[in-house]
């Protein structure tokens, strides 16, 4: 049963993506047309994905028709608001596709860990992840040969049917955490993540020691080139593609695996053939870069910092021990602007409408552009959606979703994903660990953890 607590006079999410709490106010210097600072929408919906275990979000992307593809991990069974979504004998993943109005088109169960999803121009869906023993994406079992684990990559057509799939062995105790999968204009694939050990691509091998890697493959998954992190430790990674198929790898370099550790966010730009065009590291010793996007002449990075951060001639000191940030580079690597942003920026998307949509966490009284925003006191899992002008970094609109952080609930492995289709509709997928205030309704988990999905148009 869908657990929604309706507020007096409220209706089931009629008209807003992010109605919870008061909207943030306009930042000084913001564009005059940004007088509306709420994330009010013409149509919207809020829903849960529920199961008996602790479900985790993996990915959310839109295809060219505005359909939404999501991936999530679960145990035994998972349901959405339409009913049963997936059933498995144990831990598994599901990939599901929804129309813009919310109707489910199809779902596919994968008896492995799906970690990243992408959409081609022809509306085909690409999925990537890791497996133990074997995995079948619809074309027959894939194995890692003599090794116990591997990485899988596959393509489904617009109806969710298998097109092709392949596996890449991981050497014995190696592990790989795919963080992002993207498709360039030529149809080539790129996958980024964290690697410890070795991945085999036929006669080619990529070796890294707890580092950020970037893998470039052709349209059928054949290896072309890879970046192995240059023997530096990393703790988080993401990457983006521009319209010329250049790649921007971002994340956090760590000075060591054991304390004391300096943590430095970075962005590296690569050509389509793998040449490093420029390298940038942020001016701090204690910060994390979580997500990167590029559109037009702006490369935008979000994350969190816990020591002074200097960027574009401005030094920010964290308030309350930790604070989120959003910074903008030019595509040539020049530093342009920096903004404070809640407790932590977790994911972002650059929309064709020239804005940047960021999702993340905030504490009661944090700023999401300008002014204090109320949340559940003492909680670091209040959530937000905020939009900024990509050129100057001006705050456009934001909304807060108060959510408590129950004692004993670990959130370090949670992922929060945001996607936007070409007309501006935004989807926000993440972990539901306590009642989540989305305005007219409050979404409540059945157990320790469910998933929420918020969809709307700013």
Q: And the tokens for 228? A: 């192995």
Q: How many domains does the chain have?
A: 1
Instruction: Assess whether pLDDT exceeds 80 at residue 13.
Output: no
Tell me how far CA of residue 358 lies from CA of 14, 120, 203, 249, 384, in angstroms.
23, 23, 40, 18, 8
Per the listing, tokens 């050497």 go with 171
d(CA 95, CA 263): 34
Instruction: Assess whether pLDDT exceeds 80 at residue 452.
Output: yes
Burial (CB < 10 A; 0-12, 13-18, 19+), residue 173, is exposed
pTM of this structure: 0.91
Banded pLDDT at 447 (limits 50, 70, 90): confident
**Closest among 322, 325, 456, 334 to 393, alpha carbons compared:** 325
> Per-residue pLDDT tens for 184-228?
999 999 999 999 999 999 999 999 999 999 999 999 999 999 999
Q: What is the pLDDT of residue 3?
A: 53
In a domain, 104, yes or no: yes
Q: What is the pLDDT of residue 363?
A: 96
Instruction: Assess whether pLDDT exceeds 80 at residue 418.
Output: yes
Q: What is the pLDDT of residue 236?
A: 86
Instruction: Assess whether pLDDT exceeds 60 at residue 276.
Output: yes
Question: For 261-267, what is the mean pLDDT?
Answer: 97
CA angle 74, 134, 227 (to 5 degrees): 85
Instruction: Assess whether pLDDT exceeds 60 at residue 270.
Output: yes
User: Which is higher by pLDDT, 13 or 353?
Assistant: 353
Q: And the tokens for 3? A: 């657990």
In a domain, 4, yes or no: no
Q: What is the pLDDT of residue 33?
A: 27
Q: What is the pLDDT of residue 9?
A: 28
Backbone angles phi, psi at 305, to 5 degrees: -140, 145
Are the CB atoms for 263 and 234 separated by under 8 Å?
Answer: no
> Per-residue pLDDT tens for 135-187?
999 999 999 999 999 999 999 999 999 999 999 999 999 999 999 999 999 99
Adjacent-strand bridge partners of 195: 176, 211
> Per-residue pLDDT tens for 375-390?
999 999 999 999 999 9
Instruction: Assess whether pLDDT exceeds 60 at residue 117.
Output: yes
d(CA 345, CA 339): 11
Expressed as residue numbers, the domain containing 94 is 15-30+37-456
- Residues 6+ positions from 29 with CB-CB distance below 8 Å: 392, 394
In a domain, 159, yes or no: yes
What proportion of the chain, given as a percentage, has pLDDT over 90? 82
Instruction: Assess whether pLDDT exceeds 80 at residue 403.
Output: yes
Q: How many CA atoms lie within 13 A of 208 on its CB side?
A: 25
In a domain, 240, yes or no: yes
Banded pLDDT at 353 (limits 50, 70, 90): confident
DSSP 345-390: EEEEEE-TTSEEEEEEEE-TT-BSSSSB----TT-S-EEEEEEEET
**Closest among 443, 440, 419, 398 to 15, alpha carbons compared:** 440
d(CA 50, CA 451): 7
Q: What is the pLDDT of residue 257?
A: 86
Q: What is the pLDDT of residue 448?
A: 86
In a domain, 183, yes or no: yes
- Residues 6+ positions from 39 with CB-CB distance below 8 Å: 16, 17, 18, 19, 23, 385, 387, 397, 398, 399, 456, 458
Per the listing, tokens 């157990």 go with 447
As a dihedral over the C-alpha atoms of residue 296, residue 299, residue 304, residue 305, rounded to 10 degrees, the angle is -130
Q: What is the domain-level CATH number for residue 77?
A: 2.130.10.10
Are the CB atoms for 213 and 227 separated by under 8 Å?
Answer: yes
In a domain, 6, yes or no: no
Quote the mean pLDDT of the chain: 90
**Closest among 50, 49, 158, 39 to 99, alpha carbons compared:** 158
Instruction: Assess whether pLDDT exceeds 70 at residue 435.
Output: yes
> Per-residue pLDDT tens for 87-101?
999 999 999 999 999
Banded pLDDT at 458 (limits 50, 70, 90): low
In a domain, 233, yes or no: yes
Is cis: bond before 260, omega within 30 of 0? yes
Instruction: Assess whether pLDDT exceeds 50 at residue 42.
Output: no
* DSSP 8-state class, residue 318: -
User: Which is higher by pLDDT, 13 or 273?
Assistant: 273
Strands (E), 15-121: 44-49, 56-62, 68-80, 83-98, 104-110, 113-119
Adjacent-strand bridge partners of 234: 253
In a domain, 8, yes or no: no
């Amino acid at each position: 049963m869908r657990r929604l607590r309706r507020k007096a006079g409220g209706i089931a999410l009629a008209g807003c993506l992010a109605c919870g709490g008061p909207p943030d106010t306009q930042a000084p210097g913001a564009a005059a047309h940004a007088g509306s600072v709420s994330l009010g929408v013409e149509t919207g919906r809020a829903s849960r994905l529920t199961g008996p275990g602790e479900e985790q979000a993996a990915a959310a992307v839109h295809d060219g028709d505005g359909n939404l593809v999501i991936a999530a991990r679960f145990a035994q069974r998972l349901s959405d608001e339409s009913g049963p979504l997936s059933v498995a004998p144990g831990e598994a993943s599901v990939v599901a596709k929804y129309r813009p109005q919310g109707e489910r088109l199809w779902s596919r169960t994968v008896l492995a860990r799906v970690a990243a999803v992408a959409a081609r121009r022809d509306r085909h869906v690409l999925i990537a992840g890791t497996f133990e023993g074997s995995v079948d994406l619809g074309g027959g079992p894939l194995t890692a040969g003599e090794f116990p684990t591997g990485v899988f990559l596959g393509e489904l057509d617009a109806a969710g049917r298998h097109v092709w799939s392949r596996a890449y062995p991981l050497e014995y105790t190696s592990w790989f955490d795919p963080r992002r999968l993207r498709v360039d204009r030529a149809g080539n694939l790129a996958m980024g993540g964290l690697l410890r050990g070795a991945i085999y691509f036929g006669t080619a091998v990529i070796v890294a020691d707890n580092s950020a890697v970037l893998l470039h493959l052709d349209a059928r998954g054949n290896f072309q080139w890879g970046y192995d992190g240059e023997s530096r430790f990393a703790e988080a990674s993401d990457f983006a593609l521009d319209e010329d198929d250049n790649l921007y790898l971002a994340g956090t370099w760590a000075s060591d695996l054991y304390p004391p550790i300096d943590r430095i966010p970075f962005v590296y730009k690569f050509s389509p053939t793998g040449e490093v065009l420029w390298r940038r590291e942020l001016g701090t010793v204690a910060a994390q870069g979580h997500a990167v996007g590029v559109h037009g002449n702006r490369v935008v990075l979000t994350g969190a910092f816990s020591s002074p951060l200097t960027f574009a001639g401005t030094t920010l000191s964290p308030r309350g021990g930790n604070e989120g940030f959003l910074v903008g580079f030019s595509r040539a690597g020049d530093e342009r602007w920096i903004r404070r942003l809640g407790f932590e920026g977790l994911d972002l998307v650059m929309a064709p409408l020239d804005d940047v949509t960021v999702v993340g966490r905030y504490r009661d009284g944090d700023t999401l552009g300008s002014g204090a925003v109320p949340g559940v006191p003492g909680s670091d899992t209040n959530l937000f959606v905020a939009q900024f002008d990509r050129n100057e970094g001006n705050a456009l609109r934001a909304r807060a979703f108060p959510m408590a952080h129950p004692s004993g609930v670990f959130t370090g492995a949670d992922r929060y994903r945001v996607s936007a289709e070409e007309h501006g509709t935004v989807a926000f997928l993440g972990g539901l660990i306590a009642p989540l205030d989305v305005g007219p309704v409050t979404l409540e988990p059945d157990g320790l953890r469910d998933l929420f999905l918020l969809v709307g148009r700013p």
